[in-house]
Amino acid sequence: MHGSKREVCVIGAGIIGASVAFHLSRFDGVGVSIVDVGRAGAGTTDAGTGWITARNNKDPDYRAFKLEAMEEHHRLAGLFPSRPWLTARGTLQTEDTSARFDAFLDECREVGFPVEVLTAAKVNSELEPAIAFDDPAMRVAFFPREFSVAGALLAKMLVDRAIDNGAVGHFGSRVVGLERRPNARHRVAFSDGSWLDADAVVNAAGASADTISRMYGIEMPMSPQPGVGVRVKAQGNPLGRMIHTRMLTLKPETDGVLRLRSAHGWRTDIGPQEWNDDFTGGEGRSAFIGHVVEEARRLLPTAGISPIEILSGVRPIPADGLPRLGEVHSVPGYFESVTHSGAVLGPLVGRLLAEEIATGVENPALGRYRPARFPDVPPQESPAAA
């Protein structure tokens, strides 16, 4: 330990690393360094849609974990005087998103995920006056418990607050090596030849987490999945909450800015997977973006929508689809925090992992998600070898 503090280096300042770092910085006896080759939140977190839900999950334990994660977002927001990253007014989904809409609603109710069914006309009169639905009688599901976040903004606010609490940010710094040092320390080596020593290291490098784990000889099987988001300008604030239509997901992000994600093409993993006959964007990037923007204009015809940024990201998905969280016991002091649905899980995962790192006590809530479930993770070292 350096001085009286346990020094922890968090690699990656996306939503996951930012949350771990923020929660660590709240412990008196912990010194925190946050390292990123770019800036906070600028990786996959910025490309992500930021839909906060637990309804799509068929696995009851994982769904319960996500429901808890949804609650954690509200607890986290309570720690900040304002919460500009959060739009908590429920979400909408039109009937034409699914050929089995009624069965889908039943499934949501069966697992106790609240949903109300409105007509498009009612959505217009009570919630979203600017949306131009094709048919006023069309059914629209309203999920009052769901919400959305601007993930990059949340990551940045968490990092800023961690720095207020005494953490130090190292940005533009690429980690190129990890090495175990005497006294159970870790050396984090940077591409510029400098290094930083710490008592513990957290691998929160998102889709590059397998590159970091390999620095300690640990294979991390991943099923990465690319995807894009489109950020557009919109006059006024034409949308109050996230909506999923047959062609698009739209969400209000910040003042005068909306986020779009196509429900078709460019390898999305939420919404209909089959190629849709109505989709005319083709595979070319410009055609694709043009199509997505055109669809958004059709839905919000008075908003003067124009594209500002195309955000590409790679979803960091461990090979079995579940989060990979906690210490790798064969390398004491080396922790992993890698997961899909990072916008949903970031706040909860960050707190639970920070508590484990700071107190040394493992939380059974993370039991199912330990790295040790993968055969490539070396078993715990015997005390003699440590």
Ligand X SMILES: Cc1cc2nc3c(=O)[nH]c(=O)nc-3n(C[C@H](O)[C@H](O)[C@H](O)COP(=O)(O)OP(=O)(O)OC[C@H]3O[C@@H](n4cnc5c(N)ncnc54)[C@H](O)[C@@H]3O)c2cc1C
Distances (CA, A) of 192 to 32, 37, 173, 216: 21, 11, 8, 20
Residues from 142 through 201 that contact ligand X (CB under 6 A): 151, 174-175
Residues from 201 through 240 that contact ligand X (CB under 6 A): 204-208, 227-229
User: What is the side-by-side order of every strand in the sheet holding 116-119?
Assistant: 116-119, 139-143, 91-94, 243-244, 248-254, 257-262, 225-233, 306-315
Whether 289 contacts 307, CB under 8 Å: yes
Any alpha helices (H) in the chain, and if so which ranges?
15-24, 44-47, 60-77, 101-110, 120-122, 151-164, 209-214, 285-299, 342-359
Residues from 39 through 58 that contact ligand X (CB under 6 A): 42-45, 47-51
Which of residues 33 and 330 has its CB atom nearest to ligand X in the complex? 33
Phi-psi region of 205 (alpha: psi -120 to 50; beta: other; left: phi over 0): alpha
Which of residues 207 and 358 has its CB atom nearest to ligand X in the complex? 207
The DSSP line for 184-216 is: TEEEEEETTS-EEEESEEEE--GGGHHHHHHTT
User: Applying CB under 6 A, does 371 fall inside the site for ligand X?
Assistant: no
Size of the site for ligand X (CB under 6 A): 40
Which of residues 15 and 30 has its CB atom nearest to ligand X in the complex? 15
Assigned token pair, 155: 């990551």
Q: Closest-CB residue for ligand X?
A: 14
Candidates 8-16, 54-62, 118-126, 300-308; binding stretch for ligand X (CB under 6 A): 8-16
User: Applying CB under 6 A, does 33 fall inside the site for ligand X?
Assistant: no
Q: What single-letter amino acid sits at 210? A: D
| Closest distance of CB 73 from ligand X, Å | 11
Burial class (CB in 10 A: 0-12, 13-18, 19+), 26: middle
| Closest distance of CB 326 from ligand X, Å | 15
User: Applying CB under 6 A, does 252 fall inside the site for ligand X?
Assistant: no
Whether 75 contacts 83, CB under 8 Å: no
User: Applying CB under 6 A, does 342 fall inside the site for ligand X?
Assistant: yes
User: Applying CB under 6 A, does 340 fall inside the site for ligand X?
Assistant: yes
Q: What single-letter amino acid sits at 33? A: S
User: Applying CB under 6 A, does 16 fall inside the site for ligand X?
Assistant: yes
Which of residues 54 and 331 has its CB atom nearest to ligand X in the complex? 54
| Closest distance of CB 190 from ligand X, Å | 8
Which of residues 11 and 348 has its CB atom nearest to ligand X in the complex? 11
Which of residues 204 and 331 has its CB atom nearest to ligand X in the complex? 204
Which of residues 95 and 146 has its CB atom nearest to ligand X in the complex? 146
User: Applying CB under 6 A, does 326 fall inside the site for ligand X?
Assistant: no
Whether 315 contacts 227, CB under 8 Å: yes
| Closest distance of CB 175 from ligand X, Å | 4
User: Applying CB under 6 A, does 38 fall inside the site for ligand X?
Assistant: yes
Across 330-344, b (16+ Cβ under 10 Å) vs e yields: bbebbbbbbbbbbbb
Which of residues 229 and 326 has its CB atom nearest to ligand X in the complex? 229
User: Applying CB under 6 A, does 97 fall inside the site for ligand X?
Assistant: no
Chain residues that interact with ligand X, rule: CB under 6 A: 11-17, 35-38, 42-45, 47-51, 151, 174-175, 204-208, 227-229, 261, 313, 315-316, 340-344
